[in-house]
Amino acid sequence: MTTFSGSDHFWKGAQTLKVPMELFKLNRQRLCEALRAHRTLPPDSFVFLQGGTSEMRYCSDHEPLFRQESYFHWAFGVIEPDFYGAINVQNGESILFIPRLPAAYVAWMGKIKEPDEFKKIYHVDHVYYVDELEKIFDELVGKSKLILVLNGLNTDSGKESQAAHFPGIEHFHIDKTTLHSIISECRVFKTDMELDVMRYANKISSEAHKFVMLNIKDGMQEYEIESLFQYYCGRYGAMRHMSYTCICATGDNPAILHYGHAGAPNDRQLTSKDMCLFDMGGEYYCYTSDITCSFPVSGRFTNEQRIVYEAVLDANRQVMKAVRPGVSWVDMHLLAERTQLEHLKAAGLVQGDIEEMMSARLCAVFMPHGLGHFIGIDTHDVGGYPNPQSRSTLVGLKSLRTDRTLEERMCITIEPGIYFNQSLLNNAYEDEKLKKFLNKNEIDKYLHIGGVRIEDDIAITSDGCELLTVVPRTCEEIEEWMSHNSKQADGKLDYE
Amino acid sequence: MTTFSGSDHFWKGAQTLKVPMELFKLNRQRLCEALRAHRTLPPDSFVFLQGGTSEMRYCSDHEPLFRQESYFHWAFGVIEPDFYGAINVQNGESILFIPRLPAAYVAWMGKIKEPDEFKKIYHVDHVYYVDELEKIFDELVGKSKLILVLNGLNTDSGKESQAAHFPGIEHFHIDKTTLHSIISECRVFKTDMELDVMRYANKISSEAHKFVMLNIKDGMQEYEIESLFQYYCGRYGAMRHMSYTCICATGDNPAILHYGHAGAPNDRQLTSKDMCLFDMGGEYYCYTSDITCSFPVSGRFTNEQRIVYEAVLDANRQVMKAVRPGVSWVDMHLLAERTQLEHLKAAGLVQGDIEEMMSARLCAVFMPHGLGHFIGIDTHDVGGYPNPQSRSTLVGLKSLRTDRTLEERMCITIEPGIYFNQSLLNNAYEDEKLKKFLNKNEIDKYLHIGGVRIEDDIAITSDGCELLTVVPRTCEEIEEWMSHNSKQADGKLDYE
Ligand SMILES: [Mn+2]
Ligand SMILES: [Mn+2]
């Protein structure tokens, strides 16, 4: 098998990225250092994590393709289900616990790997079987040392992570409160090796977006776009998983932020007059990308499409120029709102004083979501609100997935947007605080656009940011790139 | 949205299949008839089913693309998560319970549909909200009537289906034992409308296999095959879900029956000498297909490849000729084994008396799995063992997913195979009962082939079967089809 053939890296062959297993060793080291710096934690503690489990769909034997749980991936890079892992905080020693597979596995699932093989693949210090967990913990940890397990709130899902467990763990000394915030904080800051994977995931997903632009035709169904994108990511990037369900929105659909879900399954037919909003990203070895491209099916912007597009692009680029360590993400959100409102005012869609609009939270009518979110092993990556109580309650701002001050090595999306959601607009036309700003006659001319979002992934550097996403962004770049769209007959795909 | 635009069918646009919503109404009618025929069940009972639920991956907010729970799909055809459904057994009236969505849904997930809209889409008699479940059950069912919930064993997964539940259901009169076997038995027999969907899923997946044959090249990675197949199914068949994880096995990998899982992720590079075993199928509106094509990367069979291939094909075709109502599936498995052993004997891989080989269960060394399984809304469809105790304990036969006598309207796969699994062979060489039959020197010449499986989906008719799968099957057909493989440069896809 290619994936771990080199024994010191993960690799999917051909032009795909080699990811050194050192990446995970360094992550574990960073975690141990952070834990050792904790004021009250006994230094001889152990971290104990549970990997993702193999699942079957409801009562059937259908097994969805396994994808590793994100904290476990960050610490160990294991691709198989049903593992556990432990780390000695004092000396950094790492242990994996692997499931003991029945002999029949050899015919159905392949060669049964011995503990020593996994030790070499994953560069850990010891490998035991899951059924030895209690015995090994007895020997290594004993009843006196502390076992740190993961338990805490994910502020995007509202769900609590489930503490690792084995029968008998109740006899040990367990700490459920320390690990979650410290390991989440480690995940916020990407190492050089992690940044390489983030760059690769963005590069392939960017190319896949460009591939879609070359092959789009009016008359297509939106789900064909999803297939084109996934095909490129899978074939040329070895991405078996998308970061999230593809959003392939055309016509009015761009106004639906999470369009593409099972109840709105990318099922509209494209017309030559449509604006597209395609929010799609693949992941490589669990590192995600999250990219939105907006462009006209025709390859040529109309006047209205251009006005909205350039408003959003200006917001995106203003933020991109402003970000650097020390800058507040809330301020960036407000900068994007202000920039977009200025454009909407210049075009006559809104009227009045910009500062008054800002106080009235007018921009949330057009952009009900936050400016962007941390990105990493989860698309909406952890650590956005170390203190969940700090979250704003104001419209628009409360949708921000982080309110933090930016620091070097954070990875975050910049994704301003302007949407024409009839329902949100109708509410606003009836709202005493908002209606005076809105020029319904002008706005009506833009309803057919649905919406525009421009989403890039960046890494914060010491003095600004690195742009990871590489797609045509200005109207001119998009029109130039799409002029190579060959409008060939179905079934032929173009890529240069 | 296209999907239910016609209001009396499900349709994904373009050349995809229109599925009448009558399909589900007829399913419900058939269920009610079967329940009314039950000797002791009060006729004024109600069926109560719970649809699949929206999920997030571990503690994150990542939502895998929702796929409906299979019993619920069979009864209602609902594409959204978090529904419940009830059926009045006496008069067949149907009720859907829909989640009450928060107002914010309109910006994130799209227009909030009213109960009346769902009533029209799904052709049910009443629609209420999930939070009205207890109230509606109080009015309609009362404390005296029986509520039938789904609870029983899936013999493929070993899992129990979870009975539908709402807070307060404990105050009603619940029957957990009757529904499971009766609804499972209904699912075994496909209606004409269901057969149309099965035909369509097979047609598209067959075309996708042919598309792979046209575009395969040595030097490719196995996962590129997966991408090609999924691309075709998704783009031309509107199949967002595969029936199961694609098995793209080359080299030695065909010997691993469920190759392609997360721990063996289709990651080998193809060479021109390889035999391929590609077991891949897409599903349309939850109706699955399950097709295996085996062929040489080069497009030309070597002598050894042809011997193994034709042994398996003969078994497949002998079974296909023999199946009809009244025939035992166990006998079909034995027919396939016998046919394959005869070929292996003729080629000198095994020696001795065929009947002795059969008694010694020799063929299970080369084919450790069962001949085939019911197929429908699950790939391994329900109803294989109405009496789980009837299952054989003999090698090979115990892997059969059904031991039933065939009846009209059953859909089942025919998938004989011959595999050269080094580990199974090594065990056999040491087995007193088996080793005398095995000619190791000859077998060694075939090890590089890995294995061959030929899997077709059929529907049992009144006097035989209908073949749903439409792919090149003889060596000559395969060689002819693959002669159109253009060996173009990467990124160009061919389809005629
Ligand atoms: Mn995003
Ligand atoms: Mn099968």
Question: DSSP labels for A40-55?
Answer: SS-TT-EEEEE-----
Q: H or E element: which one contains B87?
A: strand B84-88
**Cα-only R_g, chain A:** 25
Q: State residue B143's pLDDT score.
A: 84
Distance A408 CA to ligand 1 centre (A): 20
Measured between CB atoms, which of B157, B226, B240 is closest to A265?
A: B240
In the DSSP assignment, the letter for residue A20 is: E
pLDDT band at residue B485 using 50, 70 and 90 as cut-offs: confident
CB–CB contact B223 A230 (8 Å):
no
For chain A, helix (H) and strand (E) counts, in that order, are: 15, 18
Distance B424 CA to ligand 2 centre (A): 21
Our CA-based measurement puts residue A21 at a distance from the nearest CA of chain B, in whole angstroms, of 16
Is the pLDDT at A490 greater than 50, yes or no? no
User: What is the mean pLDDT of the segment spanning A194-198?
Assistant: 98
Shortest CA distance to B197 belongs to which of B77, B76, B22, B376?
B376
Residues of A in contact with B379 (CB under 8 A): 62
Which residue in B10, B12, B50, B62 has the most chain A C-beta atoms within 10 A of its own C-beta, making it the best mutation to test that interface? B62
Question: DSSP labels for A406-465?
Answer: P-TTBEEEE--EEE--HHHHHHHHT-TTTGGGB-HHHHHTTGGG-EEE-BEEEEE-SSSE
Task: Quick: pLDDT tens for A423-480.
Answer: 999 999 999 999 999 999 999 999 999 999 999 999 999 999 999 999 999 999 999 9
Q: State residue A104's pLDDT score.
A: 81
CB–CB contact A268 B2 (8 Å):
yes
Task: Quick: pLDDT tens for A358-368.
Answer: 999 999 999 99
Residues of B in contact with A269 (CB under 8 A): 2, 13-14
pLDDT band at residue A485 using 50, 70 and 90 as cut-offs: confident
How far apart, in whole angstroms, are the C-alpha atoms of residue B400 and residue B371? 7
Beta-strand runs (E) in B183-332: 241-242, 247-250, 275-280, 282-283, 291-296
Question: Residue B312: what residue type?
Answer: V
- Give the number of other CB atoms < 10 A from CB of residue A275: 27
Q: Give the residue ranges of DSSP H helices in A69-153.
A: 70-76, 105-108, 115-122, 133-140
> What are the two backbone dihedrals, phi and then psi, of residue A102, each rounded to the nearest 5 degrees?
-65, 155
Is the pLDDT at B265 greater than 80, yes or no? yes
> CB neighbours of B129 closer than 8 A, spacing ≥ 6?
B97, B98, B99, B100, B115
User: What is the mean pLDDT of the segment spanning A192-201?
Assistant: 98
Residue of A nearest to B365 (CA): A107
Ligand nearest to the CA of A380: 1
Distance B324 CA to ligand 2 centre (A): 20
Shortest CA distance to A384 belongs to which of A394, A395, A396, A371?
A371
Ligand nearest to the CA of B369: 2
In the DSSP assignment, the letter for residue B429 is: H
* pTM of the full structure: 0.97
CB–CB contact B60 A156 (8 Å):
yes
Is the pLDDT at A495 greater than 80, yes or no? no
Q: Which residue has the higher pLDDT, A494 or B414?
A: B414
Which residue in A220, A235, A367 has the most chain B C-beta atoms within 10 A of its own C-beta, making it the best mutation to test that interface? A235
Question: Residue A478: what residue type?
Answer: I
CB–CB contact B221 A110 (8 Å):
no
Residues of A in contact with B221 (CB under 8 A): 2, 12-14, 238
Residues B316, B454: contact at Cβ < 8 Å?
yes
Measured between CB atoms, which of A13, A79, A108 is closest to B257?
A: A108
- Rounded alpha-carbon distances, angstroms, from residue B272 to A236, A334, B210, B492: 20, 59, 18, 20
Our CA-based measurement puts residue B76 at a distance from the nearest CA of chain A, in whole angstroms, of 15
Residues A448, A282: contact at Cβ < 8 Å?
no
- Cα angle B313-B221-B249, degrees, rounded to a multiple of 5: 30
Task: Quick: pLDDT tens for B107-146.
Answer: 989 999 999 999 999 999 999 999 999 999 999 988 889 9
Residues of B in contact with A267 (CB under 8 A): 1-3, 12-13, 238
Residues B267, A1: contact at Cβ < 8 Å?
yes
- Give the number of other CB atoms < 10 A from CB of residue B333: 26
Task: Quick: pLDDT tens for A387-405.
Answer: 989 999 999 999 999 999 9
Residues of A in contact with B491 (CB under 8 A): 493-495
Beta-strand runs (E) in A177-258: 241-242, 247-250
Residues A97, A130: contact at Cβ < 8 Å?
yes
Burial (CB count <10 Å: 0-12, 13-18, 19+), residue B427: middle
Distance A290 CA to ligand 1 centre (A): 5
Task: Quick: pLDDT tens for A123-163.
Answer: 999 999 999 999 999 999 888 899 999 999 999 999 999 89
Give the A:B interface size as CB pairs under 8 Å. Answer: 241
Residue of A nearest to B496 (CA): A491
Residues B305, B274: contact at Cβ < 8 Å?
no
Residues B419, B368: contact at Cβ < 8 Å?
yes
Task: Quick: pLDDT tens for A72-125.
Answer: 999 999 999 999 999 999 999 999 999 999 888 899 899 999 999 999 999 999
For chain B, percent of residues with pLDDT exceeding 70: 97
- Give the number of other CB atoms < 10 A from CB of residue A285: 23
Question: Residue A344: what residue type?
Answer: L
Is the pLDDT at B472 greater than 80, yes or no? yes
Residues B260, B220: contact at Cβ < 8 Å?
no
Ligand nearest to the CA of A378: 1
Q: What value does the mean pLDDT of chain B take? A: 95
How far apart, in whole angstroms, are the C-alpha atoms of residue B57 and residue B245? 18
Q: Map residue B55 onto helix, strand or coil.
A: coil
User: What is the mean pLDDT of the segment spanning B89-100?
Assistant: 97
Shortest CA distance to B231 belongs to which of A283, A286, A225?
A225
Is the pLDDT at A493 greater than 60, yes or no? no
Distance A458 CA to ligand 1 centre (A): 12
CB–CB contact B262 A106 (8 Å):
no
- Rounded alpha-carbon distances, angstroms, from residue A34 to A75, A183, B35: 14, 8, 63
> What are the two backbone dihedrals, phi and then psi, of residue A75, each rounded to the nearest 5 degrees?
-90, -30
Q: State residue B488's pLDDT score.
A: 52
In a 13 Å sphere around the CA of A264, the CA atoms on its Cβ side amount to 24
CB–CB contact B221 A268 (8 Å):
no
Q: Map residue B420 onto helix, strand or coil.
A: coil
Measured between CB atoms, which of A58, A64, A110 is closest to B69?
A: A58
Our CA-based measurement puts residue A145 at a distance from the nearest CA of chain B, in whole angstroms, of 27
Measured between CB atoms, which of B61, B423, B494 is closest to A106?
A: B423
Q: State residue B351's pLDDT score.
A: 98
Residues of A in contact with B223 (CB under 8 A): 12, 234-235, 238, 240
- Give the number of other CB atoms < 10 A from CB of residue B310: 16
- Rounded alpha-carbon distances, angstroms, from residue A282 to A200, A239, B57: 10, 6, 16
Distance B257 CA to ligand 2 centre (A): 10
Residues A299, A483: contact at Cβ < 8 Å?
yes
CB–CB contact B263 A79 (8 Å):
yes
In a 13 Å sphere around the CA of A28, the CA atoms on its Cβ side amount to 30
Distance B290 CA to ligand 2 centre (A): 5
Our CA-based measurement puts residue A231 at a distance from the nearest CA of chain B, in whole angstroms, of 5
Shortest CA distance to A292 belongs to which of A263, A316, A261, A271?
A316
CA A348 from centroid of its chain's CA atoms: 35
pLDDT band at residue A496 using 50, 70 and 90 as cut-offs: very low
Q: State residue B153's pLDDT score.
A: 94
**Cα-only R_g, chain B:** 25
Distance A400 CA to ligand 1 centre (A): 11
Shortest CA distance to B181 belongs to which of B11, B302, B34?
B34
Distance A466 CA to ligand 2 centre (A): 48
Residues of B in contact with A59 (CB under 8 A): 154, 157, 159-162
Is the pLDDT at B283 greater than 90, yes or no? yes
CB–CB contact A157 B379 (8 Å):
no
CB–CB contact B109 A263 (8 Å):
yes
Q: Map residue B410 onto helix, strand or coil.
A: strand
Q: State residue B490's pLDDT score.
A: 44
Which residue in A54, A62, A204, A248 has the most chain B C-beta atoms within 10 A of its own C-beta, making it the best mutation to test that interface? A62
Our CA-based measurement puts residue A303 at a distance from the nearest CA of chain B, in whole angstroms, of 26
CB–CB contact A256 B109 (8 Å):
yes
Is the pLDDT at B495 greater than 50, yes or no? no
Which residue in B58, B80, B157 has the most chain A C-beta atoms within 10 A of its own C-beta, making it the best mutation to test that interface? B58
Residues A370, A415: contact at Cβ < 8 Å?
no
How far apart, in whole angstroms, are the C-alpha atoms of residue B314 and residue B337? 11
Residue of A nearest to B255 (CA): A107
Q: Which residue has the tokens 């294995």?
A: B451
Residues of A in contact with B258 (CB under 8 A): 108-109
Is the pLDDT at B188 greater than 70, yes or no? yes
CA B289 from centroid of its chain's CA atoms: 6
Residues B458, B186: contact at Cβ < 8 Å?
no
Ligand nearest to the CA of B456: 2
How far apart, in whole angstroms, are the C-alpha atoms of residue A299 and residue A293? 13
Greatest C-alpha distance within chain A:
75
